[in-house]
Amino acid sequence: MLDSGFYAGAERIGTFLLTNLISAFLLMTVVGAPLGLLGLFAVMNEWAQGRQPEFFRAYLGALRSRWRAALLLGLIDLLGGLLIATNLSIYPAMAPHDYLTILSLTMTLCAALILLIANLYAWSLLSLLRLPLRATIRLSLLLVFGQPWRSLAFTAGALLPLLASLFLPIAFALILTLSLSAYIAARGVLWSLAAQFPRDELDTRLAEARD
State pLDDT tens for residues 130-157.
Answer: 899 999 999 999 999 999 999 999 999 9
State pLDDT tens for residues 57-85.
Answer: 889 999 999 999 999 999 999 999 999 99
Q: What is the 3-state secondary structure (H, E, C) of the chain?
A: CHHHHHHHHHHHHHHHHHHHHHHHHHHCCCCHHHHHHHHHHHHHHHHHCCCCCCHHHHHHHHHHHHHHHHHHHHHHHHHHHHHHHHHHHHHHHCCCCCHHHHHHHHHHHHHHHHHHHHHHHHHHHHHHCCCCHHHHHHHHHHHHHHCHHHHHHHHHHHHHHHHHHCCCCHHHHHHHHHHHHHHHHHHHHHHHHHHHCCHHHHHHHHHHHHC
State pLDDT tens for residues 34-55.
Answer: 999 999 999 999 999 988 888 8
Q: What share of the chain has pLDDT > 90, as a percent?
A: 51
**All structural domains of the chain with their residue ranges:** 2-210
pTM (2 decimals)? 0.89
Q: What share of the chain has pLDDT > 70, as a percent?
A: 93
